[in-house]
Structure 1
Amino acid sequence: MRFTQTGRDAVVAAVLAVLGLLRLPLALLLNDGVFPQPGWVIACATAASTADVATLALRRRAPRTALALATAVVLAATALPAAFLPTGIGVPVCAYTAATLLPRRTTLITLSAGAFAHAAGGIASVALGGTVHTVVTFWANDGSDPVDLVLASVGSFAVPGLVGLYVRTTRAYTAELAAKVRHLEVERELRAEAAAAEERVRIARELHDIAAHDLSAIVVQAGAADRLVERDPVAARAALLGIREQGRRTLIALRGLVGIMRAAEDRPVLARVTDLVDSARDTGMDVSLTVEGDDRTVAPATGVAAYRLVQEALTNARQHARGAPVVVDVEYRAAHVRVAVRNGAGRPGPGPGGGHGVLGMGERVRHTGGDLTVGPTPDGGWLVDARFPRGSDVTAGAS
């Protein structure tokens, strides 16, 4: 069973009230079945103690009302010939709660009014023959010095009030930080989704280029075959063979990468990394290139993705590590191709920052079934390290 905060306060008040009532049989047990004071005195003290803890049930629902009632109960208890300890706990608890829930200005007015009424009532009660030493909010003063009563009153309201204001400020600050964190997380997710969507659009556009080129060629060859099928069957057959070969190449590209970019030259795309390096050197970058292995069996999908990764990594190095040396490593292994771009520590360049290059890299690498590691290096630089499958299974599946 779940309780609201007000429900929990009511339960606490009820438990404290029951514990207070247990004093009655205990008093009888300790005094041979006789109350140490007249019954009406015991009844008044019990009523005051019960009313005091009952104010706790209202402290969140109606904090000002609860504090006013707790103060009234305390002043009523000072007029009684006896009061049970700890009568008066309702005042500091309700003062603390009021400070945590009410606006700051309202809190100061409410606590100041309560402290004034408490002090004035205590002084008046003592003047009329009452006692205040049995009520906890007067701090065991005997009432002989009005200044002590005023100080006790101020302390009973001010100390829990200051604690409540501190807790309120801390909660507000924590809630504000939590809201900012949630906002930043949502914003980061939205930026990541926007970057991924942008990259997918670009990849889809490049896919369209390939499909449009190959399918246009197929349509042209099919038209030629249609015109030659009766006049020149041999030429028509050659055209059909060309269509089949063109279709096979298109399937290889489409199955290799959802988003493969076209390579206009006969040379493999990844082999053109040297062009990227030369172009980067022309802009003044210090770039070195190391290539190991044979690139002849690398699938087009892998080649395009790796080429674009190197291109993006060099761009990032130029923007964020200006003047730093850059090392590009390309390794052709039996089962995979490893591409690593490492730059040292440098100064930010004049270009725009805060882009989504890393997200784009991850998108391309994932499309090929590879894995990507990106992060800072111990020397303050940056490393982009990707492993791509060579793609022989894609080629075989399309043949």
Structure 2
Amino acid sequence: MSTQREHQEQQEHLADADVPAVLVLEDGRSFAGQAYGAVGRTVGEAVFSTGMTGYQETLTDPSYHRQVVVMTAPHIGNTGVNAEDMESARIWVAGYVVRDPAIRPSNWRSQGDLGTALREHGVVGISGVDTRALTRHIRDRGAMRAGIFSGADARRPVAELLEEVSAAPLMVGAALAAEVTTAEPYVVEPAGEHRYTVVALDLGIKGSTPALLAQRGIRVHVLPATSSVDEVRALNPDGVFFSNGPGDPATAEHEVGLLRKVLAAELPFFGICFGNQLLGRALGLDTYKLPFGHRGINQPVLDRRTGKVEVTSHNHGFAIAWPTATDTPVDSPFGRVRVSHVALNDEVVEGVECLDAPAFSVQYHPEAAAGPHDAAYLFDRFVELMESRPSPASVDDKERGDAPA
């Protein structure tokens, strides 16, 4: 980056400090600050992320669509932004809340300033907020709708702004996969020898996921969320993958129906995050909204198969409701199912495994973008599942695949 560009971005940052902004929560509490990023107004669900690093991966994760993300780490923007760390083609968050934005980035990989990137993507943000107090408020009251208003909008009466926040749609009942999925199928070729072919249903997929599959010799066909079973069958896959994504899993009837056909065909399946919730619903389990969700890159999870504790990356506001004690398997239309992973902070189900079908899923992000790499073994576990079934099964409309949830 040229010195002239750096000077321009610093001047824009200083100019933002003179533009008033206010964050208004749906319960009436408000926080005053300064504009950060685009100037204007935005609404969404207020959630907090505990990651001290990896803010660019968070911003470009489609799972954060329609969410106002509060960063608990006080200093944001220190490492700037770069093209390599983008997890998708755009910034997806509805709004961004930070305490102390960096005046200038300082990192050898930096190709630009975070505040400038937010402006270029039209993301309305706010800085100068006591994010510790805001996070404690959300933890006490639960995730709620919020609005960020800057410039002229920040001078409007708070009561008027609150009406706008209260009119925003809730996350419960929101069907968002179709808003973030790829418009057209695409292929990520394997690195080295081709071993397996996997269909990945894009519910809000991050770029790191097909890349990690490709590193294991897998050709990945990424398909839109609206894809049919015939489109999956035509690719003759060795396995099927369902990605992370935003929204309420109870709305994903088409995707759950497709997954039931995959399970009926005994085709190896691996799902993460939203894909985990959809596997639960395909197995006849319910899902529910967490009070404030799990977000960040420091969440401890127990793998019950190995007894090891993993530090993992999370972004989910919904979870699978287990009908009994989580150490007790339950029956499903596709055989017995057990809880394979559990969150150690609150005992939330973080993974399920079919005991009579080749399928498993986890609620967190083993692609670790950003985050620790403790859970990368799950991609190898998926490969092992496909190795145990070398001949692709035929995906069809077997009767039990159409069983109700």
Return the TM-score normalized by structure 2. Answer: 0.22
- Higher relative strand content: 2
Indicate the structure (1 or 2) with the bigger Cα radius of gyration: 1
Structure possessing the higher relative contact order (Cα contacts under 8 Å, 6 or more residues apart): 2
Whose helix fraction is larger, Structure 1's or Structure 2's?
A: 1
TM-score by length of 1: 0.22
